[in-house]
Amino acid sequence: MDKKKIIIAAVAAVIVLAAVIVLLCLGGNDNVAELSDILCEQTGIEIVGIDSYSGAFFEDGSDEAVENVMQLTVRNTGNTDYQLMNIYLTDKSGCEYCFTATTLLCGETMIILEKNRAAFDEDFDFADVRVEECATFEEAPSVHSDVFSFMVMDSSVTVENISDTDLSNISVFYKNYSDGVAVGGITYMLTIPSLAAGESAQIGTSHYVDGTSKLVFVVYG
């Protein structure tokens, strides 16, 4: 059977990964270190640092330029792959800050911007940390390389159904990385309504950059 190609346009803004970081070392802030211990005991997630970020706001896909937004860096030291996790930090004045992590896999370090673009203050005095809306993967995330092949070229991803079965409701999830660290709690998604056996689809997306982006899992019907 001749392979067919479906061109699917995906509208996305160009992501800029520039950042200005002022590191708040945990060793110099016992309070944050204690909160990290609490979070790690509950979830296996430890707080690496709380920083100031200036650059593109990537958490909502808008990539709007921001300055001095609070950035949380976390590391998954446990044995659980998290599909979703909302981490809330509360300071001693009662103000609450939300950081949404998606596809936080075992062993991975991730930087997350505060959901509401709250400004960073070097004098933050945090009092509490909690986790809500936490969901784990029911099965280990996979790109199903026995079912799909992928090719990246010119800011587009080509997905081919290499199986003998017609497939539908295909979603391809990916994240951006810098020096091995996941950039943003956001996980980007490409959707393909259907692919017949041997068929391929080319999806244009400016968020996927060859060499810095990574496919993390695929789901299909």
The C-alpha angle 144, 149, 151, rounded to 5 degrees, equals: 130
Examine the domain organization and report whether 53 and 120 are in the same domain. yes
Examine the domain organization and report whether 148 and 89 are in the same domain. no
Q: Do the domain assignments include residue 19?
A: no
**Residue 24's pLDDT is what?**
38
| pLDDT beyond 70 at 18 | no
| pLDDT beyond 70 at 2 | no
Q: pTM of the predicted model, to two decimals?
A: 0.83
Examine the domain organization and report whether 176 and 105 are in the same domain. no
| pLDDT beyond 60 at 16 | no
Give the pLDDT confidence of 76-92 residue by residue, as tens digits.
999 999 999 999 999 99
Examine the domain organization and report whether 130 and 210 are in the same domain. no
Give the pLDDT confidence of 145-180 residue by residue, as tens digits.
999 999 988 778 999 999 999 999 999 999 999 999
Examine the domain organization and report whether 188 and 159 are in the same domain. yes
Which of 190, 206, 192, 207 is CA-nearest to residue 161? 192
Q: Do the domain assignments include residue 195?
A: yes
Check residue 24 and report its DSSP letter: B
Q: Do the domain assignments include residue 212?
A: yes
Examine the domain organization and report whether 76 and 131 are in the same domain. yes
Examine the domain organization and report whether 114 and 48 are in the same domain. yes
Examine the domain organization and report whether 89 and 105 are in the same domain. yes
Task: Give the total number of structural domains in the chain.
Answer: 2
| pLDDT beyond 90 at 15 | no
3-state DSSP assignment of residue 173:
strand
Examine the domain organization and report whether 164 and 81 are in the same domain. no
| pLDDT beyond 70 at 26 | no
3-state DSSP assignment of residue 57:
strand
Residue 211 belongs to domain spanning: 5-14+139-219
C-beta of residue 170 within 8 angstroms of C-beta of residue 98: no
Choosing from 111, 136, 161, the residue where a domain stops is 136
